[in-house]
Amino acid sequence: MNSLAGKVALVTGGSRGIGAAIARTLAAQGADVAITYGASREKAEAVAAEIRASGRRAEAIPADAADAAQVIAAVDTAVVRLGQLDILVNNAGNFLTGTIDQLTLDDYERTMSVNLRAVFAATMQAAKYLPDGGRIISLGSCLAPRAGRPGISLYAASKSALVGFTKGVARDLGQRGITVNLVHPGPTNTDMNPADGPRAASTLAALALPAYGQPEDIAATVLHLASDGGRYITGAVIDVDGGFNA
């Protein structure tokens, strides 16, 4: 059911953490995968090399998610190098915190450019290439519907905006059979949010399940949405958050 043989996927921010897990998971099911990266070429090339070693094609494409022109160019480059595009995963994001009296307009511009404008730009460009029945999956956050603590307002706003965007684009592209969905990860054990980090105890107390998620948990849901099994799911917001928002 989850076979992606013959498909090509682009995963933004795929050099580490959840993005890298998604890239590996899609490749394991037969997809050729392009990933974008911002700072770490070495990590991105390592993920691409791992995918190639499994027998799939892979490309690592530099693109600063804060620069919409680079995001658009990365979509074009993925198509040129891999010949087509069937699945777009908007994963790149940033996490800038601060209470409203601490934040600046520069903070706003940086957060919205990466977490919202980059998703718009990639989706807009990918829609030109996706075939009927293509897939668009974006990564939001469990903090969009419930901030949970002070200092999250700007980040939550950027991720909340993806809800309306996802539902609107699902309507825009539905007649082509293209599904558009949003996954809200909860606390996930990555180098940015380690399960043994300083906030781990308070985070665990907020969950229904007494454990952080793993990047592979998020990737499994993305895989389902990208595969034939997800063909009748669109405009949906799916929590993969250990019950953070239960």
Cite the DSSP H helix spans in 54-186.
68-82, 105-112, 118-126, 153-173
Q: What is the pLDDT of residue 70?
A: 98
Cα gap 44→36, rounded to integer Å: 8
Q: What is the pLDDT of residue 2?
A: 57
Mean pLDDT for each consecutive 10-residue tract of the chain (246 residues)?
A: 88 97 98 95 97 98 98 98 98 96 98 98 98 98 92 97 98 98 96 88 92 97 97 98 95
Closest to 85 measured CA to CA, from 122, 121, 51, 55: 122
Q: What is the pLDDT of residue 148?
A: 83
Backbone angles phi, psi at 105, to 5 degrees: -65, -35
Q: What is the pLDDT of residue 191?
A: 86
232 part of the active site = no
Q: Describe the crossing of helices 105-112 and 153-173 by its angle, rounded to 10 degrees.
A: 30
Q: What is the pLDDT of residue 51?
A: 98
Other CB atoms within 10 Å distance of the CB of residue 32:
24
Global confidence as pTM: 0.96
Q: Give the active site residue among 37, 108, 155, 232.
A: 155
Kindly report, residue by residue over 47-103, the tens digit of the pLDDT: 999 999 999 999 999 999 999 999 999 999 999 999 999 999 999 999 999 999 999
CA distances from 98 to 13, 31, 44, 149, 230 (A): 23, 39, 29, 11, 37
